[in-house]
Amino acid sequence: MNSQSVYRRADVTIGCRPGDVALDCGACFGGTSIFFADRAGADGKVFSFEFFPGNLAVYNRNVALNPRLAERIELVGNPVWSDDATEVVIEGSGPATQVHARPSIPKTGFRSGLSGVFRNLFGDRSKPETELSFRTVSIDSFVEQQGVERVDFIKMDIEGAELTALRGAQKTIERFRPSMAICVYHKLIDFYIPQFLDHLDLSYKFHLQHGTVHGDETVLFAHARQ
């Protein structure tokens, strides 16, 4: 938990601090949100973005077991993305889970007609049994619509959608310059994230930390606080 959401080296510590407003994007079972709520204290706030039904069942139990901290946590049941109302697909489970936008399929013409023939013959196999879809929200629109007055810390572990979600948080990042803990091990394009943030010209400094002996849990920490 701490190894993935807090960076500590010599004179540098990056993480949720007392009084912070934190966004926990990919809250999963709620452990990180509870940790942030404890760190942020009574003056802080945690917005937990989680939508996967299996995760939410455990999330709700865990938050309920921490009533002192639960009042500082608000659940948002949408995946974060670059815009609102995109339909995203979750495929697989566990470490193999992936998130991507559902491609549009033509509704008329030869190909769609042929697809209908094959569906009738063999059944519709265009959607795997483990696939679920949800509607997205961008951090920028969420912050604006909910009247969030500041954002101090952003954590993202959202199965390969990190760069896409950061594009939907650009206004928020430019306005508040929050510290961040962004997972960069799901896809190779994740390693473009430092360049994306650096191009915003907000004087961010970057630190990379790996939290396990396995090939995952690599987190980019970024901070621009003075």
Mean pLDDT of 24-53: 96
Q: Name the residue with higher pLDDT: 127 or 137.
A: 137
Q: Strand 7-9 to strand 12-14: parallel, antiparallel, or no bridges (unpaired)?
A: antiparallel
Percent of the chain having pLDDT more than 90?
62
Structure confidence at residue 141 as a pLDDT band (50, 70, 90): very high
**225, pLDDT greater than 80:** no
Q: Please count the other Cβ atoms lying within 10 Å of the Cβ belonging to residue 138.
A: 24
**159, pLDDT greater than 80:** yes
Q: pLDDT tens digit string along 48-93? A: 999 988 899 999 999 999 999 999 999 999 999 999 989 887 766 5
Q: What is the pTM of this model?
A: 0.83
**157, pLDDT greater than 60:** yes
Q: Name the residue with higher pLDDT: 178 or 158.
A: 178
User: Which CATH superfamily is 2-87+136-223 part of?
Assistant: Vaccinia Virus protein VP39 (3.40.50.150)
Backbone angles phi, psi at 30, to 5 degrees: 90, -5
Pairwise CA distance, residues 45 & 48, whole Å: 10
Q: Rounded to an integer, what is the distance from CA 138 to the centroid of its chain?
A: 10
Query: What does the pLDDT read at residue 3?
Result: 60
